[in-house]
Structures are given as structure tokens and as C-alpha cells.
Amino acid sequence: MRCEIVAIGTELLLGNILNTNAKYLSEKLAELGIDLYYQTVVGDNLSRVSDTFRKAMERSDIVIATGGLGPTDDDLTKEGLCHALNIGMSVHEQTLAKIESFFKSINRPMAECNKKQAYIPEGAQIIENNNGTAPGILLKAKAKLFVLLPGPPNELYPMFENSVYPYLKGNAKYLLKSRMLRIVSVGESTVQEQLKDIFDNQTNPTIAPYAKSGEVHLRITAKAESEDLADVMINEMESKVRNILGDNIYGCDQESLEAVVIKLLQNKNKTISLAESCTGGLISQRLTSVPGASKCFMNGIVTYSNEAKQKFLGVNEATLRKHGAVSSETAYEMAEGIRKVSGTDIGLSITGIAGPDGGTAEKPVGLCYIGISYDEKVETYKLMFGGNREKIRWNSSIKALDIVRRIII
């Protein structure tokens, strides 16, 4: 089955309201195995709403419309659908009685325009709205299914969950299930290139990459008659992908890089301490945001100045004078210093130029050095990052965490 979501409301076109309903419905339709090929947004104009319904009917089996079911003159969803189908509307007496009862319960007179919400298209069923006055509409016409839902999410979500979702599930032959693989240290184009044979020959399941800030997420989606069968299909595809991308895949679905690092540290019974300069405590913040981090995260210190690097980490003044704060030598001594001072298994350091100022031809903005001290040895990494200050800080924190992850595994 093919579905289309039609969001109705000029406020959406103007950007006054974020269309969170479309995101919610898209995810729910994917769960049901219903193909969503189009999303449309149209303003509060009768002829354009009617045209939108006509186009949606031509290319989709199910049309879900949101918004425009209220009492005012610019609420035109039902009218637009009736124009498109060339059918009429009539009062639904039970709905009218419910609306009248609502206004009595709040001791307010009911404006005449509120009766508009009780009109429903010929042949339609109502979807009860327990959080508002406008009912939803379920209508089968011309071999299509039309579902009209109010715009407020606190009304739409429970109506969809309680009525529409079970209805669609009862008529669905397939379900869609997805798994998201999380990838670091390679870009989207590299992932595309390395997985070219899979991309070129995919049918079911399918894979699709998404570029994220400093990461790539790869979604594997299977269409099957049952969850068990979908899991088998996804597992087979994941195995193929892992054979190619290897340790560049750090986790699945909602796993964050920092959570994976904390879990590895706990499993290996290792402790870690951090000395940060250009990231200003960002890496420590990411690690300590993970529940249970205190079992392996000992401490983090921001040594922003040269004086702090010397005082708290024991970085040699001669090193700073000869090589500078942003150097492999300084990162080396910072990592070694924080590990010794803290008594941890791993000492991680980072120093760099996040910008926008402070760069030179020899040491440009985006230059970072990461040091890691472990097993009585120290390794350093020279890295270059592009973008603004926040992007440089964020991407360097990802690289630092990934270095820890790879050393542990």
C-alpha cells in the first residue's frame, strides 16, 4: 500500500509551526510496512486543498490529512475532500451533541461556527477525539482510504494510536523494520564507495546512508510478513556491511559513541582520566552524561593555559617554549601527566586551535593533537578539522572518543 501525508495549514507554509505530525506519522507508517512516497503541505485555500487531494488520489492508496478540521472559515479540509470526491456533507448528531455538552461543561456559550465540526462527508466514519472537539474522519471512496486528523499533536497522536494504527495494521500484509548502524572515521562518500556492490544490487532489505555531525548512519530496512523474518533479513545484511566496514561501525540504533566507550571501559575493568584544552571539557561532559560512568571515569581537567598544563599535568616549560601548546609533544606530556596524576589505566589529552582566531600558516585553525597514554606507552595523533569553532570542537571530541574505543577493542 502506498500512502501520502497531506498537511493543511498556511501556518506550516509560513514556518510558524513545525510539522512534527509528519515525522510522527512517517515513523508509524514505516512500522506498519506502508510505503510513504509523498508528503505535501498546502495552505488554507479551498481550490488548492481540493487539487492536492485529487493528486494524492492518483498516486496513493491511502491519504492521511492533518489539520483544518476546526470551526473557523479557514478550516477547509473536509470541504476540500468533498469537492475532490464530488460528495456532500451532513451533520453527525452524536458529534454535535458531544460538542454542545462540552461547552455546557465549561459554562460557555457555543458559537454557531462550532457546529461546523459536526459535519462529516457522506459515507464517512468518525474517529473519536477525547482531547478536543473536532472528530477525525475515516472514509473509503473510489478504492482509496482517506484519514482526516486534527492538527494539534495532543489530539492527533492518541487518535492515531487508538483508532487508525489498529485499523491499518489489520489491513497490512507486511511490516517494515529498520536498524541503524553508526559509523565513524569514514565519510558518507567513502561508505557509499565501499558498499557500492550492495547499493547497486539491493532489493530487500535496502540500505541508505545519512550524514550526521562527524558520523555516518546507515539504515538497513527490511519488508517482511513478520518481525522474525525481518530480523533474519536485517542480520544477513548487517553481516555483509560489517565485513566491509569493520571497526568503523561502533554501534546500533540509539547507542551513542560515549555510551559505547563507557561500556567497553566497564567490560574491560579500565579507568580513564582526561586533560582537555581546546574542547573545554566537552569530552568529559559526553562521557559523564552516560549513566554509570563513575565506575570507570575518574576525572577530567581543563588545562586551557600553558600555566595550567605545567601546574596540573607536569608539562615541561621547555616543551611548551620549543613546540608550543598545540603540538604532538605537548599532547604526549598531557596524556602521560593526567594518567599519572589520576592513577588511571588510560590518560587522554587533546589540544588544538578551535578558532575562529589564533591560527597561523604553520598551525592553522582546526589543527588538533590527541594523546593517549595506556599500557606504559603513549601515542599521539595529528588531525585537521574544518568548519566553525563548535564543529571543530565536536568533531575532535568524536575522534578522541573513537581513538579510546579502538585501543580498548
Cα 295 off chain centre by: 29
Q: Residue ranges per domain, the chain? A: 2-171, 175-252, 257-408
pLDDT the model gives residue 40: 97
What is the model's pLDDT at position 175?
Answer: 85
Question: Cα 356 from chain centroid?
Answer: 29
The pLDDT assigned to 140 comes to 97
**DSSP code, position 134:** P
One DSSP character per residue, 247-287 reads GGEEEETT--HHHHHHHHHHHTT--EEEEESTTTTHHHHHH
Q: Side chain identity at 155, as an amino acid letter? A: E
Distance separating alpha carbons of residues 251 and 181, to the nearest angstrom: 6
The maximal CA–CA distance of the chain, rounded, in angstroms, is 88
Sheet of 215-224, strands arranged across: 206-212, 215-224, 175-183, 249-252
Predicted local distance difference test score (pLDDT) of residue 382: 98
> Which residues, at least 6 apart from 296, have a Cβ–Cβ distance to it below 8 Å?
262, 265, 266, 270, 271, 272
Q: What are phi and psi of 261, to 5 degrees?
A: -65, -45
91: its cell numbers: 451533520
Superfamily for 257-408? CinA-like (3.90.950.20)
pLDDT (0 to 100) of residue 95: 94
Give yes or no for a contact between 271 and 344, defined as CB atoms under 8 angstroms apart.
yes
For residues 127 and 136, is the Cβ–Cβ distance under 8 A?
Answer: yes
Q: What is the C-alpha to C-alpha distance for residues 275 and 283, in angstroms, rounded to an integer?
A: 9
Q: Under DSSP, is residue 339 helix (H, G, I), strand (E, B) or coil? A: helix
Tell me how far apart the terminal alpha carbons of the chain are, to the nearest angstrom.
45
Pick the CATH number of 175-252 from 3.40.50.300, 1.10.287.70, 3.30.70.2860, 3.30.365.10: 3.30.70.2860
- Residue 43, Cβ neighbours under 10 Å: how many? 17
Grid coordinates in use for 138? 475515516
Give, in order, the Cα–Cα distances in Å from 155 to each of 132, 149, 164, 324: 6, 8, 13, 60
Please give the single-letter amino acid code of residue 62. I
- Report d(CA 70, CA 99) in Å as an integer: 12
Cell numbers placing 68: 483544518
Q: How many CB atoms lie within 10 A of CB 118?
A: 23
Ordered per-residue pLDDT tens for the chain, 409 residues: 899 999 999 999 999 999 999 999 999 998 888 989 999 999 999 999 999 999 999 999 999 999 999 999 999 999 999 999 999 999 999 999 999 999 999 999 999 999 999 999 999 999 999 999 999 999 999 999 999 999 999 999 999 999 999 999 988 888 888 999 999 999 999 999 999 999 999 999 999 999 999 999 999 999 998 999 999 999 999 999 999 999 999 999 999 999 999 999 999 999 999 999 999 999 999 999 999 999 999 999 999 999 999 999 999 999 999 999 999 999 999 999 999 999 999 999 999 999 999 999 999 999 999 999 999 899 999 999 999 999 999 999 999 999 999 999 9
**Superfamily of chain region 2-171:** MoaB/Mog-like domain (3.40.980.10)
Whether this model's pTM surpasses 0.85: no
C-beta of residue 355 within 8 angstroms of C-beta of residue 392: yes
pLDDT of 20 reads 96
**What confidence score (pLDDT) does residue 371 get?**
98
Query: Residue 260 has what pLDDT?
Result: 98
